[in-house]
Structure 1
């Protein structure tokens, strides 16, 4: 693999890549320096003039994931180096980067991970067909079919693939569909979070960067939304470089690749990843230098702005008026004929899934708060309340619990509108709405915590339940108002993102030759803060803003969208609540429920999504993937809670093995579920041991023992006396049963030898030292949810014994142990219930 990369990316070609990156960054840097000054002007103006949107009713938590991690567990990962699958321990930190380790011990010891995946720009897939469809776009004139992928021979159909148009692809698999769905929710949350990598709190750097990227792409003829606006600024700039570089390299290197189709695609992915890493390293260094240069000029620019703010605003409004007069007629005509007829359709397409998603957020929040009140009432006391509040506090960041909300937004379809308005994909709007859902959920949960904590003093019992109910109602009312405000803002921004690029593409070529003359009207001292291109965009935006505001206002009247009218403005009903919002609450420490923390040892970071493995228990065989909690609740790390369909099964300890018969401990051959382990299994089925059958005397009331029936050796005891009127021969039945058992064990051994040869390229983790041979995983891919199938299987030997007419009634069989067995039993202190070895003398008598 390294040879393929070095062959096609020699020093000369790498220098070409570096030169191309420097050229793009130089062009972008000029635009960025201009937009930085404009963004600083807008920030200072907003600071001086004030204004803004309506005040939020819900509180906002500054650092919700402090001292938290998202998830960790085991997955099988495909290694391209040796084309094999290996078990890896996956750890998702609060940064949502996916780190994979050799095993959990390596992570716990603080060793460096084998690798870290930044999910920005990735797509999480579960279908090989979907993956191959995306893979076909890598090289021109190549088509691959499912099943023709030799480098992905997998022992399971439950795949998890992270796909990126430029970077390396990552392949994982699990053994059950349940695990796949929950890992997919975690991966999608990682992608969602890292794609939203620009902080809105930075009022200068963020708008300067986004405007620079948009204007740079518009100068190249690319209007509309961009799918690769993902991640932090250096990664977005790397995507910007690769947008043109990738196509050039593909046309240059693609025809020179050798081998079969899949091999060529695989080689191209390795080459593309190497190029992307080189470009990313370069853009990171150059962007940091660009920001440092602009930040060094900021004090001087800020002082100039505050001194001349009035003159700058007056000059800008004068020039904007003249530009508006120039473009007004054509812009109005374009708006009436090509835009207005579609505003309602675009808005409806956006509002339907978004309203369902935010309604689902409210439902999930309501259910969780009801569970808190019910459990507190049933369990009683603040200790139970602290335990349940500790769980609900991270509800917004639990990907499985929030999945039902996110899925509602994924139903967004702009089909028919995308081509007209050049919307590359609805994913930009989907992920934005999902991020807003998560923010609103966290705000609501945090507000519920603060209100409840404020009202708990001196409350208990029935009063505590009423306090929770009052806080719940207040939070839901605040959520309804805030979610309405957030959605209306989202709809307005989405409409602008769809419409403005379309109008700019139609209008800018018409006026591009006339706009430069307006630069002559700008004073030189103000030219850094007033740019003609920005004012032209503002004029176009103002021409369509009125129509967008009216459309959203009309939609607010419709009840189906659950929006407040703009005339309804709630004042802050809890003036002291915002003062409390600065203090995070540790429910486990203040009200109990911190037992799980004590059981975590030295683990400092608590997981939002917990593993269902009790502390102190041995790991599951083969490092099986530890389950993400279900939608029913969010268990803590030390809760031994399994899914309802899987019964609890204790591990086999040394004490347990001492209690088992000698034959069971010596046998190392694995057995199929449902098969008896030894002769003890047969005896439990047919129950023949030490039972004496006596004829019933018609004259006597009690049965009479005669010397001719039974001869007892020293140390033997009579277990039961059964009276019958007829005795049937039973030697052959018992012997046949024992022979059936031996044949079944031999067949099991043969089948296991054959099965162990399958998928020999897969590295299997050794079974736990505490696991029983009966629980041995034949294939290496058994899910923990299938461990107890032996309890569901029928007993074939037992059924066969029931079927025949010649079988012996269990009450008519007596087994006499040999002298050697009796002596050994006496030495070991064992009783009649001990089991002889298969090669010991077994005598069956009537």
Structure 2
């Protein structure tokens, strides 16, 4: 490897690379110093004049990933040095950099990592075919055939490849598809976070850098978006240098490479990575020096601005009026003919996937909050609530849970605009929308946490459940408003990013030659803060901003994508809410009793909680397990199989509209227990399974025949509950005194028996008898465990029960069921003939009570 690099990158080529990088940085530095003064002027002017931003409803936290890590686990990595696959332990911290360790033990001992991967500019691939396509496109001179094999073979069917146009590629593989999906989601999140752009907190340095970069590329004839504006300033500048240097070096070096096609591809990647590392080191050093020079000069410029701000503003407005009179007719003509007809179609292409993505964010948020509410209904203790809140707090940074939201945005298609408006690729807009989805999810979860903590003290039981549901409804309303505001802002910015470069490209040839003459109208003392190029671009932006605003407003009025109208301005309904803290709530530490030892203000002896849970491969040997278990936030299911199963017998269903438990109507098998309790309130029946009766048999459907009537107090579960003609297991019967003294209950029971045997009593009696061996009769073929007869009398008869008058039931007594049934039938027929209001004499009533108590009651 070293010979290939040293041979093709000799001292002469390295000096050429250094000179080219210095030239690019010098030219960029001139743009940066100019734009730094302009950005400082705009910042100070905004500070003095003030400006109103939209009032957000959701709260924002500053450091959500404090004491958190994203993911860690073991997988296989291909090592370029040895050309072999080796097991490696990867750790993804809160910076989203991927650290590689020899083993998990090396990481736990705090040893130095074998390497760190910054994912800025990378793409995460999951197939060798896709990787080969990108590789062949980057090496057009050595384009491989469609059937040619890559220079490395993956030992499994589940590769994960990190591809970069200039830097070194990284190859990994796992054992299962489930692992591949999880690792791919994590790698994509690392790429997305690294490509997010520069920090918006730097009100001067960041606008100066982006404007200088744009003006530099426009001077080279490159308008439109740039998909390699990834990473920090040094990485972006390295990509800027490689944009022109890389093709030149490829033409010089690739024809001189020897060997087979796969070997030449491999050698060129190693050479390209060496060049990129050299350029990156140089851009980092020179950018730091450039930034330091501007920071040193910043106080003097700031003092001059605050002293002469009024004069500078007046001078700028005067020059703007002159330039507007010259270029405005051309700009308006271009807008009418080339821009306005396409704004609606561009906006529609942006709105469709973006709205689906934000809607998916809301659905996931709703499901997670409902899960917290349901769990609180089951167990309203503060400890359980803390456990659930601790899990949901990192929902926005869970790559696997958020993957479905991100995938909705992947459908963005700007194919027709890429040639017309010089849009390099839609990845810039896709990743920006995905970052906004994550921010909105985190803001909603954080607001929910603050509302719950605010209401946590002094509430318990049902009050706590109602409080959580109210917090849930309030957060969802706030999310609807904020997501609408964020989307409309994203649409406006995206339309400007697409349209403005196209307009500048069309207007620059005719307008740029006339701009230098306006510099004479600017005082020399103000020339650092007023640039005619910036004024020209501002005029172009203002000319099309009105049309863009109107188009977005029309889309909001149609309400096709759940956008609020601009007239619907919501004031802050929770003024006290914005006074709460912006830090992440440590639920386990503050409310769960888990405290770490503090030394010097830092929590020690406490490992970082991991957001994404681990994968455990059942039956897989330990050396081949990927994603080994490490201390972290576990219990967060990423897929449906990880959801907590709930007990059907004890938990009430929840109404999805009102999120309140639904009271079940009386029905089987609950109604059986209620009838039993009504007839004999002293007797307690222990049910082991709601789908079976207390004696282990399945209930009958409505209309099925009543086989037996018996009394059961308690029984041991049988070994074979589904056995039809088998022998009964031994029963354990407690000695309890049963007496039925309620005439209304007896009459109701007799009426139910009459209905059941109305068709053919003799047939029922013959079928319902149990032989002396204690076997069950043949059950009806129409009986179903899903449908029951609510009479409560369809249980099969028990053996070993004897008729004894008004005596406790013991296990040694046997009942003559056939005689009991004949007696019951005669009692039923005689009761039908009697008048409803007539009373029975004492001897008949006593006889009926004794018969029923010994033969029919449960």
Question: Could you tell me the TM-score, scaled by structure 2's length?
Answer: 0.72
Deviation at 1:597, TM superposition (A): 12
Preserved CA contact (<8 Å) 2:613 2:636:
no
In structure 2, the partner of 1:718 is none
| Structure 2 residue 196 is the aligned partner of structure 1 residue 199 | no
Q: Distance in 2 between matches of 1:499 and 1:627?
A: 49
Preserved CA contact (<8 Å) 2:596 2:604:
no
Q: How does 1:27-426 map to 2 (within 5 A)?
A: 27-145=27-145, 148-149=148-149, 151-426=151-426
Q: Distance in 2 between matches of 1:628 and 1:375?
A: 26
In structure 2, the partner of 1:709 is none
In structure 1, the partner of 2:626 is 625
Q: Report the 3-state secondary structure (helix = DSSP H, G, I; strand = E; otherwise coil) of the residue aligned with 1:141.
A: helix
Preserved CA contact (<8 Å) 1:118 1:194:
yes
Change (3 A) 1:213 1:543: same
Q: Deviations over 1:487-532 (max 9, x none)?
A: 0000000000000000000101111111000001000010000001
Deviation at 1:628, TM superposition (A): 9.9
In structure 2, the partner of 1:745 is none
Q: Distance in 2 between matches of 1:639 and 1:620?
A: 25
Q: Distance in 2 between matches of 1:159 and 1:174?
A: 7
In structure 1, the partner of 2:633 is 636
| Structure 2 residue 423 is the aligned partner of structure 1 residue 427 | no
Deviation at 1:639, TM superposition (A): 9.0
Q: Distance in 2 between matches of 1:23 and 1:641?
A: 50
Deviation at 1:602, TM superposition (A): 3.9
Preserved CA contact (<8 Å) 1:613 1:638:
no
RMSD value over aligned CA atoms? 2.5
Change (3 A) 1:527 1:445: same
Q: Report the 3-state secondary structure (helix = DSSP H, G, I; strand = E; otherwise coil) of the residue aligned with 1:148.
A: coil
Q: Distance in 2 between matches of 1:9 and 1:216?
A: 28
Q: 1:609 aligns with which of 605, 608, 612?
A: 612
Q: Distance in 2 between matches of 1:625 and 1:601?
A: 28
Preserved CA contact (<8 Å) 2:616 2:629:
no
Q: Report the 3-state secondary structure (helix = DSSP H, G, I; strand = E; otherwise coil) of the residue aligned with 1:137.
A: helix
Structure with more relative contact order (C-alpha pairs < 8 Å, separation 6 or more)? 1
Q: Report the 3-state secondary structure (helix = DSSP H, G, I; strand = E; otherwise coil) of the residue aligned with 1:29.
A: helix
Deviation at 1:64, TM superposition (A): 0.5
Q: How does 1:526-545 map to 2 (within 5 A)?
A: 526-545=526-545
Preserved CA contact (<8 Å) 1:68 1:93:
yes
Q: Distance in 2 between matches of 1:176 and 1:475?
A: 38
Deviation at 1:596, TM superposition (A): 12
Change (3 A) 1:450 1:640: closer
Q: Distance in 2 between matches of 1:460 and 1:584?
A: 24
In structure 2, the partner of 1:769 is none
Question: Could you tell me the TM-score, scaled by structure 1's length?
Answer: 0.73
Q: Report the 3-state secondary structure (helix = DSSP H, G, I; strand = E; otherwise coil) of the residue aligned with 1:331.
A: helix
Q: Distance in 1 between matches of 2:127 and 2:143?
A: 17
In structure 2, the partner of 1:721 is none
Deviation at 1:593, TM superposition (A): 7.9
Structure 1, unmatched stretches of 5+, are 647-846
Q: How does 1:646-725 map to 2 (within 5 A)?
A: none
Q: Report the 3-state secondary structure (helix = DSSP H, G, I; strand = E; otherwise coil) of the residue aligned with 1:513.
A: helix
| Structure 2 residue 516 is the aligned partner of structure 1 residue 519 | no
In structure 1, the partner of 2:771 is none
Preserved CA contact (<8 Å) 2:64 2:583:
no
Q: Report the 3-state secondary structure (helix = DSSP H, G, I; strand = E; otherwise coil) of the residue aligned with 1:416.
A: helix
Deviation at 1:644, TM superposition (A): 4.9
Change (3 A) 1:373 1:643: closer
Change (3 A) 1:494 1:597: farther
| Structure 2 residue 479 is the aligned partner of structure 1 residue 499 | no
In structure 2, the partner of 1:561 is 561
Q: Report the 3-state secondary structure (helix = DSSP H, G, I; strand = E; otherwise coil) of the residue aligned with 2:100.
A: strand
Preserved CA contact (<8 Å) 2:70 2:96:
yes
Change (3 A) 1:151 1:142: closer
Deviation at 1:603, TM superposition (A): 4.3
Q: Distance in 2 between matches of 1:238 and 1:568?
A: 46
- The count of aligned residue pairs is 640
Preserved CA contact (<8 Å) 1:395 1:442:
yes
Q: Distance in 1 between matches of 2:590 and 2:200?
A: 34
Preserved CA contact (<8 Å) 1:587 1:593:
no
In structure 2, the partner of 1:19 is 19
Change (3 A) 1:289 1:641: closer
Deviation at 1:197, TM superposition (A): 3.7
Q: Distance in 1 between matches of 2:556 and 2:430?
A: 21
Q: Distance in 2 between matches of 1:464 and 1:606?
A: 27
Deviation at 1:637, TM superposition (A): 3.9
Q: Deviations over 1:254-280 (max 9, x none)?
A: 100001111101100000000000000
Q: Distance in 2 between matches of 1:601 and 1:584?
A: 18
